[in-house]
Amino acid sequence: MARRSLVVFTSTVLVLLLTGFGVFGKYTFNLLASFGPLIASLTAAGICWRTARQTMGTERAWRLGMATGMGGWFAATAFWTIHQNIFHTQLSSPSLADIGFFSLPISALFALACVAREPRSERRHVRVVLLLDCVAVIGSLLVVIWLTDAGEMFSANAGWNLAHGLAIAHLALNFVLLVFVLMLWLARRVSESLRVQVALLGLGLLILAVSNFLYMYPGATGSHETDFSRFGYIVGPVVIMMAASTTASSATTSATTAVFLRRALMSLPYCVVAVAVAAVAFGFVIRKELDPMALTLGWYISIVVLARQVFILREDRAKLDELASAQAGLVYLAEHDPLTGVANRSYFDRHLAQALQANKHQPEALAIFFIDVDDFKSINDRYGHVAGDTVLTLLAKRLERCVRSDDIVARVGGDEFALLLRAGAWPKSVARRILDAVRQPYSLNGEWVVATVSIGLVELRGDEGDLSADELLAYVDSAMYRAKQSYGAALVSYDISELTIRPRSGQELNADMAAKSSKPA
């Protein structure tokens, strides 16, 4: 069907070109200009109706809308053709034909509303900016229409009458329709599978709108009407017929095309406004005065463009806030344990290294804890891993309640936690609070379970010299394992000042701390 429509379109354009250049004679030219639009509109209405019956959903809805519009256009064209070529009388306006002529743009708006889709998670600002873009483009086009057609009509007739008002309204409605098509297509408000159909539909409506303009302008200015403008009334319906005959495509828009469309959408209002400004400037050069109506429309367009910029700035600010929030969220995820919500090993190591570095310039007391849950494997084996996760989460909360807000609680392993306490804390008192808090039972699967911990503690007074983080962690890790060797629920603490010899191997480290260790608490 689509290939056949392409052949029909190519043949139609070729015949019109040959006829326009007089190949088939003057009689054929007049016959085609008079009855060609009638045949084309009837054929387009029939094709839209036939293809609508073969499709469903959105595709069926827009085709039915265009079938109605082209049917009205055919009726109006037939009414006009009968008066013009059979009765040889000029059809006055307003008349019944105006109803048919207006039915096409109205039905086309309905068809476009059927294919328009609402993007997911779209900001309200985006919809407002798109609406302001439409208003700016339509206003700019109205300025151009006024300076090239409507203004001439108004001046020639020294005021408005109903016929001229209907003509201008029809022309303006066509341009509004074209803006709607263009904004839908550039803003990607049309499904990927229907983009070709909507593009052809928009092209057909554009050809009809240009033909209307070329038909009305000579009447407004008093110049001679050319029959070439009527050829657009043949090509336009043929292109609409091609849109109805085109099947849905499965192709998707590439990333490069998407970027191009987005940039085109952003620049379109400014381009059209620039054309309107150029038209006003040209009119001023020709007439040596500014047109009052165009100047008024220009003020409204300026306000719309300014409002558009305000909403764009608000949207950019909202995006920056979202980006900052997302970055903060990523930083939080990178530095915190997803299960318990406390700091992770990376966060703890970095802050410990920073504390030791600051300690070189301004010595202060530090305390480092390693805490390991005693016999945690039996909890997992008996109650399940979900219950084990519950114990770890509740334990983390209890540890946080035992320290100050500026102290650091971190999960550094499966069932291991580390604490970094700064100056002013009483580490052994904190350790005993932890032992007492942990002993409180946990409710697991309807049972009350008691879990204990083993704590290794190393205190740094602030004047022990240059200690690396790895050496300090080795001390506290060994202290924690010595606490576990005491059958758990114990505290083993060391004061760095008592360890006068810096061990250089794991065996020397254990031997040195074994000689200086306190009894398990």
Q: Which residues are catalytic?
A: 415
Residue 159: left (phi > 0), alpha (psi -120 to 50), or beta?
left
Distance CA 89, CA 326 (A): 71
List the one residue out of 38, 18, 42 whose CA is nearest residue 28.
18
Residues near 144 by Cβ (< 8 Å), separated by ≥ 6?
275, 276, 279
Six-digit token pair at 179? Answer: 């803006």
Q: Count CB-CB contacts under 10 A for residue 112.
A: 24
Q: From CA 256, how far away is CA 170, in angstroms rounded?
A: 37
Q: Which distant-in-sequence residues (6+ apart) come within 8 Å of 189 by Cβ?
A: 116, 117, 118, 119, 183
Q: Peptide bond before 94: cis, by omega within 30 degrees of 0? A: yes
Residue 499 near residue 518, CB atoms below 8 Å: no
Q: What angle do CA 17, 201, 171 make, to 5 degrees?
A: 80
Rounded Cα gap, residues 26 and 499, in angstroms: 115
